[in-house]
Chain A
């Protein structure tokens, strides 16, 4: 087997056109990996600057009423992970700015794609685009004539005479081309690792290793199928057109079709319906800015009882702060219900989409690639949920200070000092480690594994007709 692989590589190395093509792709990969890293770093720096500016504003808010400060709120910017440079995932289509303020759970806004004309339909040219679309195509072009040309040129007989079995031949050919994909993969991921080596924690290494593994599996699937078809179909052209058709189907056509299908099977509410339902639920609870609400009266009675006083004016605390927090607590239940249902539907859509990996391993690869790069919807939702957790603590801190900081009910001119505002911690988001995210990609991993074993079995037990003498 080793000799066949060696021979195959010798032939490939002597093919000047192929070497030029490989050089072009390697340079392209290196250049876009470099620019991808530069882009990610510049984005990280800009976000850091914006974050510092917002914090600076907060730390210079001066003497301010805590509830006014809750309305003033703060902003957080979706962080750029190191592997954004490899796979941009959904980053261009989702927002980057999230306002955290009192009374509401906002949505993340201002996506990069909404700030200019359409620039591409397959996203920014990141290494993932090359690794997902171009390299598999290159492998198809390299391998489509691998067995049929041996037969056409009469070398197959010679190989059999030397004791090479069909199985050995198919495996050797597959490994030869697969290794080319692996070299390009190592080149791309290596550059990624080297350029981000200053912040390469264990999680980054784990993620890169998993990315390597699944791309390697996908390349194996592509190479083995191409080699098999080369051995099974009547000529080179048939093998090439079949694999090209499969490539178009897998990477261009099916993902879009299945994507549209998942939205039909698990429909999302319209924004209007979503907001109306939330408003309806919200109106049933306490409204911090409506002193005449029934719920506020109930809260007032219970607090007066606790402090054994007749009127809110006699309270040693500021009742307004308690009302605002009760408003937040009720609001949180409403947001959890509606945003929770939305996230659940999105997860159902993701699962349906992932199941299409049974007929299309490209979908599993794409899902794993952006998931492992931390640029898929799961990571996006995780950021939003963590930001919301922070918002609740942030607003509660302000409301508690409003209630227990020394002011009296109805005194809206009362202000907290800068020292208090400085003591409110800033939001510091940490991308979850990959172990936490892996269960989300179980289906993708299973299907990728099944496709790998399927293609392995095909080479092992398949008996393609071109290998018959």
Chain B
């Protein structure tokens, strides 16, 4: 029987089995629901970002009005003076946003665990306590979201089991294997062709489930490369399961034996091994309580603020040599309080950069350990690869945190230069502040 005939035969076989049709329909329904969940999250985040962008304009608009009318700040807060760099920068109200990827529709990944917007000021760091994930039910998050990647990586193998456990098993149970040998002398090729046929059906299903949302969303053209890569990985995953199940089917002793082994394999690959690796990684490199960050925010901060100005100046001048040419650097005796404060604040920012980089490196070392286990934990390897493609993985969030840290440094740098040059902020200068993080 050639492949085309096998395809026709398998299609008939599926169509004649009510429970296989129900399984396929149920799978499609769940997949569509998973896609819907991913897209809903994308929409929710976009709406939230739009609100944030809109409301974040209030403070700069207030400041612009004050520049126009010659006011220095709100009447009820007389200590605010937007002509000073500090308050002007404060009212610039910089937001650093991690815009959701459109491809989140295909995998929510770890996106629900992380914050995606933050007001960044001169005091901000990448691990501030306001950088918390959206409010959600922790029990629901612990159970996990029903997204398309879960459907494909965890439920698709179950669908394959439903569709294939009778291949070769039924013939063995009914004692037709000898008859089969007469029709198909090469048993391996017969089993392979039947599994390939199932694989072809599932591939078609995959293409439909990936392409239709992209067509409806209108991003098939703009994201074609990524969608192709995503489909390729999902196809590879399908092939991986087809191969494993075909081997079980070939060596199986009957339907029950095959079903037992297939479900056992699914259990090991999707629950036992990932759970074991998770436990191993937790024991080997336990997640911390951010003590290095807490200590930096309390003890190190106190230490920096207790230092003599000259010793702090030395550190900051080394980081920003341009400051040596500033007004206060030349005429040392004139240093005012904001310039003094700015020096300490920047020294703290420089220190926090170091601490944050250490934390990021620690996390990466834990990730390296997890990556090393991919060869025994293939399902999570695929999961993390897919999350990376659709930018809902841990590394995407690390990049976002780095962006926050860089933005805080940039704000500090500009602020310090202006403070040390005793700049009086006017409307034009304020507009420069507004554009400071434009590329972010």
Partner-B contacts on A (CB < 8 A): 28, 32, 35-36, 38-39, 42-43, 46-47, 50, 53-54, 57, 72, 75, 77, 89-90, 92-97, 99, 106-107, 109-126, 129, 133-134, 137, 141, 144-145, 236-237, 240-241, 244-245, 248, 252-253, 255-257, 259-260, 262-263, 268-272, 274, 276, 290, 292-293, 342, 346, 349-350, 353, 370, 376-377, 380
Contact = CB atoms under 8 A, between A and B. Distances in A.
List the 8 shortest-distance A-B pairs measured between CB atoms, nearest first: A125-B275, A120-B274, A112-B287, A256-B146, A119-B278, A259-B140, A90-B138, A90-B142
Nearest to A53: B291
Given A119-B370, A349-B140, 11 more contacts: A50-B291, A96-B287, A110-B290, A124-B282, A125-B279, A129-B275, A133-B267, A134-B271, A268-B137, A271-B134, A349-B137
B263 A137 contact: yes
Contacts of A290: 76-77
Interface in B353-401: 363, 366-367, 370-371, 380, 383-384, 387, 393-395, 397
Contact of A269 (B110, B129, B135): B135
Contacts of B299: 57
A133 to B, nearest CB: 6
B338 interface: no
Contact of B393 (A117, A236, A252): A117
Contact of A120 (B135, B166, B278): B278
B125 interface: no
A129 B272 CA distance: 9
A92 B142 contact: yes
14 contacts: A54-B294, A90-B138, A97-B290, A97-B294, A107-B132, A110-B287, A118-B383, A119-B274, A121-B274, A121-B383, A125-B272, A137-B267, A253-B30, A256-B144
B277 A114 contact: no
Contacts of B132: 95, 107, 109, 271
B150 A256 contact: yes
Q: In this complex, which of A72, A77, A99, A259 has the most chain B Cβ atoms within 10 angstroms of its Cβ?
A: A259
Given A93-B141, A350-B139, A118 B270 contact: no
Contacts of A95: 132
A375 to B, nearest CB: 9
Given A117-B384, A241-B19, A35 B283 contact: yes
Interface in B121-153: 127, 129, 131-146, 150
Contacts of B114: 114
B67 interface: no
A116 B366 contact: yes
Given A109-B132, A290-B77, A349-B137, A118 B263 contact: no
B276 A125 contact: yes
Interface in B27-56: 30, 33, 37, 44, 48, 51-52, 55
Nearest to B131: A109
A299 to B, nearest CB: 17
Contact of B129 (A109, A111, A248, A263): A109
B275 A270 contact: no
A352 to B, nearest CB: 10
B256 interface: yes
B344 to A, nearest CB: 16
A377 B144 CA distance: 15
B288 interface: yes
B304 interface: no
A120 B274 CA distance: 5
B221 interface: no
A120 B277 contact: yes
Contacts of A350: 137, 139
B113 interface: yes
Contact of B289 (A110, A121, A133, A244): A110
B413 to A, nearest CB: 26
A118 B384 contact: yes
Given A119-B278, A133-B267, A137-B263, A270 B150 contact: no
Given A237-B255, A241-B19, A115 B136 contact: no
Contacts of A112: 282, 287
Contacts of B155: 252-253
Interface string B253-287: 00110011001000100111011111101110011
B14 interface: no
Given A109-B129, A118-B384, A259-B143, A123 B278 contact: yes
A123 B142 contact: yes
Contact of A134 (B48, B272, B277, B383): B272
Nearest to A242: B19
Given A57-B298, A124-B279, A263 B140 contact: yes
A42 B113 contact: no
Nearest to A249: B26
Contact of B271 (A72, A129, A241, A259): A129
B154 interface: yes
Contacts of B70: none
Given A106-B129, A237-B255, A260 B274 contact: no
B218 interface: no
A122 B270 contact: yes
A60 to B, nearest CB: 10
Nearest to B114: A114
B283 A97 contact: no
Contacts of A144: 256
Given A118-B380, A119-B281, A119-B380, A262 B275 contact: no
Contacts of B134: 270-271
Contact of A268 (B127, B135, B259, B370): B135
Contacts of B146: 256-257, 259-260
